[in-house]
Amino acid sequence: MKTFRFKTYLTSNVESLESINKELLNKCKQQQFKKGDYLLREGEISKTSYFVEDGLLRQFSVDDKGKEHVIQFAPENWFMANREGECFNLPSSYNIEAIEDTTVFIIEKELIENLSKTNSVFLNFNIELLHKHIASLQKRITQLQSKTAKERYLDFIKTYPDVLMRVPQTYVASYLGITPESLSRVRKEISINK
């Protein structure tokens, strides 16, 4: 029988609380998306979080000129959510798209709320996830403010070791806030110095 990544993740992160993990696995439905499908479109209100079981998602915005800007990738074992909708019932500023055929576990806000109220281990886990998200976003801002294209690229490889070969280079450049030409230069430079 297949062991779900979601189960392995929960077992190793929510301090092996068997009862919670069972409830999460039972109550979170799986859903499949085809490459190119949208899980969420800008303007929609969503209270759903996703755990990526298989595949790859990207969260991105589109500016006034129609240019796309990738804010986050989510490969296997990553979560993705629309925080504006989840708490404040606001329409999303972002799109979430499957950039490979993708299977996710769907985690509804209500389930997170109920588990947080009844179980302090889960509550801590959820709070830690939110803090981790904040810390990673702050790091990204600092990078956009102060790091060179090369430094950003090297950090990208560290953060997403298996994403680089799975996405178009334009997405990577967009995530890094550099031009595709700069990305090419950096990659060439690094391969020469190896």
Binding site for its own copies (CB under 8 A): 61, 63, 67, 69, 71, 83-84, 86-88, 93-94, 113, 116-117, 120, 123-124, 126-128, 130-135, 137-142, 144-147, 174, 177
Nearest-approach distance from CB 70 to its own copies, in angstroms: 8
Nearest-approach distance from CB 172 to its own copies, in angstroms: 13
- Residue 111, CB half-sphere, CA atoms under 13 Å: how many? 18
Which of 21/95 has CB closer to its own copies? 95
Which of 90/190 has CB closer to its own copies? 90
Nearest-approach distance from CB 12 to its own copies, in angstroms: 16
Q: Measured between alpha carbons, how far is 41 from 98 in angstroms, rounded to an integer? A: 12
Nearest-approach distance from CB 11 to its own copies, in angstroms: 20
Q: How far lies 162's CA from each of 40, 78, 156, 157, 174, in Å?
A: 24, 13, 10, 8, 17
Q: Is 43 helix (H, G, I), strand (E, B) or coil?
A: coil
Nearest-approach distance from CB 169 to its own copies, in angstroms: 16
Q: Measured between alpha carbons, how far is 172 from 127 in angstroms, rounded to an integer? A: 29
CB 78 within 8 A of CB 96: no
Indicate the helix (H) or strand (E) that contains 134: helix 120-146
Burial zone of 116 (CB within 10 Å; 0-12 exposed, 13-18 middle, 19+ buried):
middle
DSSP for 63-83 reads -TTS-EEEEEEE-TT-EEE-H
Which of 146/191 has CB closer to its own copies? 146
Nearest-approach distance from CB 82 to its own copies, in angstroms: 9
Which of 60/103 has CB closer to its own copies? 60
Which of 41/188 has CB closer to its own copies? 41
Which of 147/185 has CB closer to its own copies? 147
Rg of the chain on CA atoms, in Å:
18
